[in-house]
Amino acid sequence: MEHILEDVRRDILPGLTHWQSPRFFAFFPMNASSAGLAGEMLSVGLNVVPFVWAASPAAAELESVVVDWMARLFGLPRRFLFYSGGGGVLQGSTCEAVVCTLAAARDRALGRLGGHEAIARLVVYASDQTHATFQKGARLVGIPPSNFRVIRTSAASGYGLTAEAVRAAVDHDVGLGLVPLYLCATVGTTGLGAVDHVRELGEEARRHGMWVHLDAAYAGSAAICPDFQDYLDGAELADSVSMNPHKWFLTNMDCCCLWVARPRDLTSALSTDPEYLKNVGADDDGAGKAPAAIDYKDWQISMTRRFRAIKLWVILRRYGAAGMRAHIRRHVAAAKWFEQRVAADERFEVVVPRRFSLVCFRLAPRSGRDDDATNHVNRDLLAAVNASGRAFMTHFVVDGKFVIRLAVGGASTELQHVMEVWDLLQGKAAEVLQHYVK
């Protein structure tokens, strides 16, 4: 092992991007913490497999307890809690969660429409800001690519999807004899941190019996603070909700919470019942199983599964709601500080108002109008900052504008690191602008 670890240090570490650096501001954060590491060690060390309840009763039951705790901490509507008839599962990624809910929605609709042939008529809806995994998921469950609607958003709605835009697309499809199946709403989009109008989208979707999924992969963590729970207003109109604790909730990879209002929709699409997985000691009516027993293999794609619940349980025990709120607020405050500096510097502009801990900004067009030169100068600025090795950020493009993203959220990122990156940006901006003037 000593030699192997020496090789890791010499040959592998120098080639890694250090996601846990406090100066990592790219993509979205992938939090790690000492409690997360301890939880992960317990999970991989015990290496139990809670696919059916009897295969590891405490692991299956702890998962149900932990997802209910999380739902309550985020202020999710009761219908997503086990004791109210809903429930949750811990999966590895939002992509898997979306595939599972798409399969559930598809089978529910096909049951209603009377057969598999109707799949050609099912239509799914997303915005131009929805994460690309949704399109992948729709393809995987057999939705014809021509029935995938990408609805445009605009600066006027802060790049959030509005019911009005959805209504126009849905009415058109219904007029063609198509069947609206599924709408993916996002709280905290990947590119810009935009928020879709959940309540009005939910109301619109209900008119057509559409499944509504609420993707809060990144921003869902902020809902631990009551002042951010308004962004989930209308969640009671959704059929499913997901968020990734492994992004911003001090949870080492991997962990995605998926809640559904009607677990039967999910299990109808995903159940298998081979003899070798029957719960030991349970008779045909399920007697012998604990009342709260869940066979989590029926809530996800794979059968074999990790004991993620113990990790999240350790994290919640260790940091508590107050500790988590402080963690989120620290990053939001640092992002706010950065946004204010950008807004006060006339060379720069904030491209979309910040809602969480993501700031989207750029060097403003010198001519006052968007042009290629502005995009080039911003590309050069981002490249110069990243090449310095002192910070790492990524970009997005919206309405043809090249935008730099500063995603604050690393577990060890403090205001001081954000201040340093602002200094770095100002220095590099001066260099890059000088080059363009020449």
Residues that bind ligand PLP (CB under 6 A): 28, 93-95, 131, 133, 186, 188-190, 215, 217-218, 244, 256
Q: How far is the CB of 345 from ligand PLP (least distance, A)?
A: 28
Q: How far is the CB of 94 from ligand PLP (least distance, A)?
A: 4
The Cα 406–Cα 301 span in angstroms is 34
Q: How far is the CB of 129 from ligand PLP (least distance, A)?
A: 9
Q: How far is the CB of 193 from ligand PLP (least distance, A)?
A: 9
- Of 246 and 362, nearer to ligand PLP (C-beta) is 246
Encoded amino acid at 186, one letter: T
Is the CB of residue 221 less than 8 Å from the CB of residue 193?
Answer: no
- Of 187 and 324, nearer to ligand PLP (C-beta) is 187
Q: Which residue has the tokens 């080639």?
A: 15
- Of 268 and 394, nearer to ligand PLP (C-beta) is 394
Tell me the three-class secondary structure of 238-278, residue by residue.
Answer: CCEEEECHHHHCCCCCCCEEEEECCHHHHHHHHCCCCHHHC
- Of 215 and 239, nearer to ligand PLP (C-beta) is 215
The Cα 162–Cα 167 span in angstroms is 9
Q: How far is the CB of 220 from ligand PLP (least distance, A)?
A: 9
- Of 87 and 409, nearer to ligand PLP (C-beta) is 409
Structure-token pair, residue 4: 């192997």
Q: How far is the CB of 90 from ligand PLP (least distance, A)?
A: 12
- Of 195 and 363, nearer to ligand PLP (C-beta) is 195
- Of 73 and 192, nearer to ligand PLP (C-beta) is 192
- Of 28 and 211, nearer to ligand PLP (C-beta) is 28
Query: 3-state class of 146 per DSSP?
Result: helix
Contacts made by residues 81-88, CB under 8 angstroms, sequence distance 24+: 82/292, 85/261, 85/262, 85/263, 86/259, 86/260, 86/261, 86/262, 86/263, 87/259, 87/260, 87/263, 87/294, 88/64, 88/257, 88/258, 88/259, 88/260
Encoded amino acid at 267, one letter: T
Is the CB of residue 143 less than 8 Å from the CB of residue 119?
Answer: yes
- Of 218 and 299, nearer to ligand PLP (C-beta) is 218
Q: Which residue has the tokens 């905290």?
A: 188
Handedness of CA 190, 194, 197, 199 (dihedral sign): positive
Contacts made by residues 44-49, CB under 8 angstroms, sequence distance 24+: 44/306, 46/307, 46/310, 47/307, 48/307, 49/304, 49/305, 49/307
Q: Which residue has the tokens 């609709």?
A: 109
- Of 51 and 356, nearer to ligand PLP (C-beta) is 356
Q: Which residue has the tokens 């500063």?
A: 406
Q: How far is the CB of 300 from ligand PLP (least distance, A)?
A: 13
Burial degree of 232 (CB within 10 A; 0-12, 13-18, 19+): buried
| Total length of the chain | 438
Q: How far is the CB of 20 from ligand PLP (least distance, A)?
A: 17
